[in-house]
Amino acid sequence: MKQTPLEEKISMLVTPVIEDLGFALFTVKIIGEGGSRTVQIMAEDPATGRLGIDDCTKITKAVSALLDVEDPIQGAYRLEISSPGIDRLLIRTEDFEKYTGFDAKLETELPNTEGQKRFRGVINGLKDGNIILLQTDTGEVEIPFSDLSKAKLVMSDALISATGKAVKKEKELKAKELESLEKGETQNGTVTSS
């Protein structure tokens, strides 16, 4: 997805700070104009794709201090740190591979040959690494990634179910790790002294 030069600059500034905290930058968006601007930074835990409230607080403190020093934005603004959410934006080509089989809404910069700019359907993956395949009510359409102005997952029972399964799996893994630590075991199965 396209970013403004200021969004790109902020992305470059905040990425190392966010990564040092153990997270991954998802995107930076600037919404509004003048004194009512909001700098929206979405980040996630690379292992889980999620971001908790405490995580948002950590990132807010670190990024706020950096932006105060670097001062890339003229005038007043609000800083907002959040998770991409379940019905997240699709901003990288790999997102279309990861979310194959899920419903999405896509919008292109310019209309296609039939005059259509907005599409809704099931993601069928990518062709040649940069052509999005989308199964719509009228058939499969091919949309070059470079033509997108916006793409977002659509909240559905299937998406909620898949997200719930991922969260459950994450909790089970953390519980096993904790149990191993409590038993004094290392990851390779050898017992350490207590």
The domain that contains 63 carries what CATH number? 3.30.300.70
Domain boundary among 52, 82, 112: 82
In a domain, 53, yes or no: yes
Could you tell me if 31 and 60 lie in one domain?
yes
Q: Report yes or no: 42 and 83 within 8 Å, Cβ to Cβ.
A: yes
CATH number at residue 140: 2.30.30.100
Domain boundary among 133, 153, 173: 153
In a domain, 98, yes or no: yes
DSSP β-ladder status, 118-127 and 131-136: antiparallel
Could you tell me if 78 and 9 lie in one domain?
yes
Q: What distance separates the 2 farthest-apart alpha carbons in the chain?
A: 70
By residue range, what is the domain housing residue 123?
Answer: 93-153
Give the pLDDT score at 192.
Answer: 46
Domain boundary among 82, 104, 122: 82
In a domain, 161, yes or no: no
Domains in the chain: how many in total? 2
Give the pLDDT score at 169.
Answer: 63
What pLDDT tens digit does each residue of the chain (194 aa) get? 678 999 999 999 999 999 999 999 999 999 988 778 999 999 999 888 889 999 999 999 999 999 999 999 888 899 999 999 888 899 889 899 989 999 999 999 999 888 999 999 999 999 998 999 999 999 999 999 999 999 999 988 887 777 766 666 666 666 676 677 777 654 445 444 44
Could you tell me if 111 and 61 lie in one domain?
no
Gap between the Cα atoms of 189 and 5, Å rounded = 50
